[in-house]
Amino acid sequence: MTTPMYQSGIKSLPLLNCGKVRDIYAVDDQHLLIVTTDRLSAFDVVLPTPIPGKGEVLTAISNFWFDRLKDIIPNQLTGIAPESVVAENEREQVSGRAIVVKKLKPLPIEAIVRGYLVGSGWKEYQKSRSVCRIPLPEGLREADKLPQPLFTPSTKAEMGAHDENISYEQAEQLLGKGLAAQVRDTCIALYKEAASFAATKGIIIADTKFEFGQDAHGKLYLIDEALTPDSSRFWPADQYRPGSNPPSFDKQYVRDWLESTGWNKQAPGPELPPEVAAKTGEKYRQALKRLTEV
What class has domain 15-103?
Answer: alpha beta
Question: Does 15-103 match 106-259 in CATH topology?
Answer: no
**Phi-psi domain of 132 (left: phi exceeds 0; alpha: psi -120 through 50; beta: other):** left
Strands (E) across the chain are located at 15-18, 22-26, 31-36, 41-42, 45-46, 98-102, 105-106, 109-116, 130-131, 134-135, 145-151, 154-155, 203-214, 220-223, 232-236
pLDDT at 161: 63
Examine the pLDDT at 1 and tell me if it is beyond 90: no
3-state secondary structure 55-111: HHHHHHHHHHHHHHCCCCCCECECCCCHHHCCCHHHHHHHCCCEEEEECCEECCEEE
Q: What is the distance between the alpha carbons of residues 159 and 156, in angstroms, rounded to a whole number?
A: 9
User: Residue 138 burial (CB < 10 Å; 0-12/13-18/19+)?
Assistant: exposed
Mean pLDDT within 143-155 = 97
Give the pLDDT confidence of 102-148 residue by residue, as tens digits.
999 999 999 999 999 999 999 999 999 999 999 999 999 999 999 99
Q: What is the DSSP letter of 259?
A: H
**Distance, CA of 130 to chain centre:** 24
What class has domain 106-259?
Answer: alpha beta
Q: What is the distance between the alpha carbons of residues 35 and 201, in angstroms, rounded to a whole number?
A: 28
Q: What is the pTM of this model?
A: 0.94
pLDDT at 163: 78
Give the pLDDT confidence of 14-64 residue by residue, as tens digits.
999 999 999 999 999 999 999 999 999 998 899 999 999 999 999 999 999
Examine the pLDDT at 160 and tell me if it is beyond 70: no
Give the pLDDT confidence of 232-260 residue by residue, as tens digits.
999 999 999 999 989 888 888 899 999 99
One-letter amino acid of 29:
D
More confident site: 191 or 251: 191
pLDDT at 103: 98
Beta carbons within 8 Å of 34's beta carbon, 6+ residues apart = 22, 23, 24, 25, 98, 99, 100, 101
Name the residue ranges covered by the structural domains of the chain: 15-103, 106-259
Q: Which residues pair with 212 in a beta bridge?
A: 222
pLDDT at 52: 92
pLDDT at 238: 95
Give the pLDDT confidence of 253-293 residue by residue, as tens digits.
899 999 999 999 999 999 999 999 999 999 999 999 999 98
pLDDT at 251: 85
Residue 137: CA count within 13 A, CB half-sphere: 8
